Amino acid sequence: MVNVYIVSDTHFGHANIIRYCNRPFADAREMDAAMIERWNATVRPQDHVYHLGDVAMSQAALHRVMPRLHGHKRLILGNHDNVAPISNYAQYFGKILMWRQFHPLLLTHAPIHPGSFGKMRVNVHGHIHQQPSPEGPYLNACVEWRDYTPVHLDTLIADARNLCHD
């Protein structure tokens, strides 16, 4: 059986994100190594991973890290996914999207207005790192909220159902 995982805002190779977001790592090398280890301990080669954007902060980091990560990866573009050209991403991600739906979830990089949810009930997003999600039907998938590890889609669906029943 194939599992589906979600992760956001890894910022591989970004030393300053450690200070900006109070990440518990000494440097970017340690951070990258920890996230690669946690990813591969969770995700099997046949699983699917939706990355909600802001993958890596340089072409070198993208090329150094992505081949080492398990799973069939899909990218929902984030505001820092601008390591040009797009072929840099296409070689590692089977699909590059702006959003994705998994009922009842709408996956985006940044939190979006509830009027844009369509038939989806909860917005799973990244972008805001350690900050809490906006009030309402939102779940933060940033690594700072998820122990620097991809989270299983079923966990997010259960969290969404609990959120909608509160």
Reported as a single tens digit per residue, the pLDDT across 110-133 is: 999 998 998 889 999 999 999 999
Per-residue pLDDT band at 146 (split at 50, 70, 90) = very high
Question: Residue 67 corresponds to which tokens in the numbers above?
Answer: 């081949």
Answer whether residue 165 shows pLDDT above 80.
Answer: no
The residues, any chain, with a CB within 8 Å of residue 79's CB and separated by 6 or more, are 53, 54, 109, 110, 127
Q: Let me know: does 46 contact 2? Beta carbons within 8 Å.
A: yes
Closest CA to 30 of 43, 17, 20, 44: 17
What is the model's pLDDT at position 61? 96
Distance CA 138, CA 160 (A): 8
- Which alpha helices (DSSP H) does the chain contain, by range? 16-20, 28-42, 59-65, 87-90, 153-165
Q: What share of the chain has pLDDT > 70, as a percent?
A: 99
As a whole number, the mean pLDDT across the chain is 95
Closest CA to 20 of 129, 152, 146: 129
Q: Going from the N-terminus, what domains does the chain have, and what CATH number goes with each?
A: 4-165 (3.60.21.10)
User: How much is the pTM?
Assistant: 0.96
Question: Residue 129 corresponds to which tokens in the numbers above?
Answer: 């790192």
User: For residue range 17-53, what is the model confidence (pLDDT) as tens digits?
Assistant: 999 999 999 999 999 999 999 999 999 999 999 999 9
